[in-house]
């Protein structure tokens, strides 16, 4: 965390920085033994943005509504496909999503791998195509596995490759979270979502979100 | 004649099978109704035939053994798993029954031991986990501090060849596909014998040995995780499905 803050501070000095809150809700329901339906709602609200005249100011940014079907493959894998609608200002963006996920169980930890391709279309911008890979590690803070009413720690690292207007850019994300398993169907997570965009080019963008996730299984 | 009938009844009846270790009276094992009805049918059909035999011949005994093997196989094929329930949390040694800590001090005097309080379908237990002779050991105690069992984590391929063969035959009958994720040798017996077994890292003659497996397996066209307890001839004594926690927070 110290390293993250130091890096952020160093980078902030040269590039842009914004920060806000990012609440997310994921509701999943089992359609059949192998198929589940996952719906999501996410909003972004800014409090700090040093590219604005008024750096400190509340601003509602966007809302995402997503819906994915997830087909289980084997004991650990799943193929997911779906659609996301983004409401940003006066515009609506459409995003098609294809994912492959793999969750590995070890003695005390669970490792989740997520491979994603998505295509975003909107009237105000050229189509954007992305390749993403995320690794997430989860471990209980007590005992050998997470049981209801127990806390856990989760850290994710994601790499994104973006293609838009014949340009390729890279982004990385680090997401440390503390989670609480309310019961077998409910868990909440609170943590940071740090995003470093334009990683290998000039004019890097830093976003630091306070993220609150709620996962509910129907 | 009456004696022969009684002997046969004792040997082939479901109750006898429990005694011979063919069907274990474990509440985790559910023998499908079909399996039991086939056993009953064979039993009823065979009694009159056996009554015609004047003496206990080797041939009749072999016949009975074959029936038992078929019944064993049927019981495996028709077996369904219960769902595993287990909740555990770390606890301090001072919150563990004295008998349990005393045994651990004797068995692993210089080792760092982690204690867990566990609740499962078998009730509340305490478990000590440590590494001894480069092998992970789990020692389970009841709430009174009495030793339940000692488990040692090993590689499946390190088991005796014939044990591996019996176990894989049982798994082949149960599952379309499977992969063994974790193998533990389980010892049960009196504390003195188990203490010796731990020191020598070898099963004492007086204690008995079972094999606890965690596996990923395909059954009824679906991959699931299972926990099983088997003996060295492949008799399934415990068969539990391990329900996976939702993975949404790692996937989406």
Burial degree of B33 (CB within 10 A; 0-12, 13-18, 19+):
exposed
Q: What are A15's two structure tokens?
A: 């590039």
Chain A residues in contact with B119 by the CB 8 A cut-off are none
Across the interface, of A34, A70, A145, the residue whose CB is closest to B222 is A34
Predicted local confidence at residue A7, as pLDDT = 54
Across the interface, of B89, B181, B247, the residue whose CB is closest to A112 is B247
Question: Which residue in B has a C-alpha nearest to residue A34's C-alpha?
Answer: B222
**Summary mean pLDDT of chain B:** 77
- pLDDT band of residue B9 (cuts 50, 70, 90) is very low
- The whole-number average pLDDT for the span B168-197 is 92
Chain A closest-CA separation from residue B83 CA (Å): 14
- pLDDT band of residue A167 (cuts 50, 70, 90) is very high
Question: Which residue in B has a C-alpha nearest to residue A148's C-alpha?
Answer: B87
What percentage of residues in chain B have a pLDDT greater than 90? 45
Residues A98-125 as b/e (b if ≥16 CB within 10 A, e otherwise) read ebbbbbebeeeebbbbbebebebeeeee
Tell me the CATH number for domain A19-217.
2.40.160.40
Q: Averaging pLDDT over each range in A5-9, A106-110, B32-36, which range is the top one?
A: A106-110
A183 lies within 8 A of chain B by CB: no
Question: Which residue in B has a C-alpha nearest to residue A32's C-alpha?
Answer: B222
Residue to mutate among A33, A75, A134, with most B CBs inside 10 A, is A75
Cβ distance of B89 and A112 shorter than 8 Å: no
Question: Which residue in A has a C-alpha nearest to residue B245's C-alpha?
Answer: A184
* Whole-complex ipTM: 0.89
B87 lies within 8 A of chain A by CB: yes
pLDDT by residue (tens digit) across A39-96?
999 999 999 999 888 899 999 999 999 999 999 998 889 999 999 999 999 999 999 9
B222 lies within 8 A of chain A by CB: yes
Name the DSSP class of B111: S
Rounded Cα gap, residues B48 and B66, in angstroms: 18
């Amino acid at each position: 965390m110290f390293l993250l803050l130091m890096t952020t501070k160093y980078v902030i000095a040269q590039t842009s920085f914004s920060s806000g809150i990012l609440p997310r809700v994921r509701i999943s329901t089992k359609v059949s033994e192998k198929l589940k339906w996952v719906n999501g709602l996410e909003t972004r609200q800014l409090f700090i943005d040093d590219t604005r005249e008024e750096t400190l100011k509340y601003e509602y940014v966007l809302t995402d509504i997503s819906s994915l079907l997830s087909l289980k493959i084997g004991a650990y894998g799943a193929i997911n496909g779906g659609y996301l609608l983004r409401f940003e200002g006066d515009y609506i963006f459409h995003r098609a999503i294809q994912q492959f996920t793999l969750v590995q169980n070890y003695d005390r930890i669970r490792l989740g791998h997520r491979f994603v391709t998505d295509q975003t279309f909107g009237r105000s911008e050229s189509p954007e195509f992305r390749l993403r890979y995320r690794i997430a590690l989860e471990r209980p803070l007590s005992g050998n596995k997470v049981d209801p009413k127990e806390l856990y720690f989760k850290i994710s690292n994601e790499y994104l490759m973006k293609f838009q207007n014949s340009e390729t850019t890279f982004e990385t994300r680090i997401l440390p979270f503390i989670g609480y398993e309310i019961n077998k169907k409910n868990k909440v997570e609170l943590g940071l979502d740090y995003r470093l965009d334009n990683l290998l080019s000039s004019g890097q963008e830093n976003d630091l979100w306070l993220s609150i996730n709620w996962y509910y299984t129907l | 004649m009456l004696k022969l009938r009684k002997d046969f009844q004792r040997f082939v009846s479901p109750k006898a099978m429990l005694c011979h270790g063919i069907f274990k009276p474990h509440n985790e094992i559910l023998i499908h109704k079909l399996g039991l009805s086939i056993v009953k049918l064979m039993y009823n059909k065979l009694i009159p035939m056996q009554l015609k035999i004047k003496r206990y011949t080797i041939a009749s005994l072999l016949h009975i053994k074959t029936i038992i093997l078929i019944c064993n196989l049927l019981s495996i094929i028709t077996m369904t798993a219960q769902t595993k329930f287990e909740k555990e949390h770390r606890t301090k040694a001072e919150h563990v029954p004295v008998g349990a800590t005393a045994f651990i001090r004797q068995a692993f005097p210089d080792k760092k031991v982690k204690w867990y309080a566990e609740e499962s379908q078998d009730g509340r237990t305490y478990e000590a986990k440590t590494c001894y002779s480069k092998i992970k050991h789990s020692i389970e105690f009841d709430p009174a501090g009495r030793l339940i069992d000692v488990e040692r984590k090993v590689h499946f391929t390190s088991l005796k060849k014939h044990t591996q063969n019996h176990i894989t035959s049982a798994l082949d009958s149960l599952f379309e596909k499977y992969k063994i994720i974790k193998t533990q040798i389980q010892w049960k017996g009196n504390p003195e014998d188990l203490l010796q077994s731990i020191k020598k890292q070898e099963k004492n003659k007086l204690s008995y040995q079972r094999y606890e497996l965690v596996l990923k397996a395909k059954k009824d066209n679906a991959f699931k995780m299972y926990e099983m307890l088997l003996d060295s001839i492949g008799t399934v004594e415990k068969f539990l499905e391990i329900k996976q926690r939702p993975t949404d927070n790692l996937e989406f």
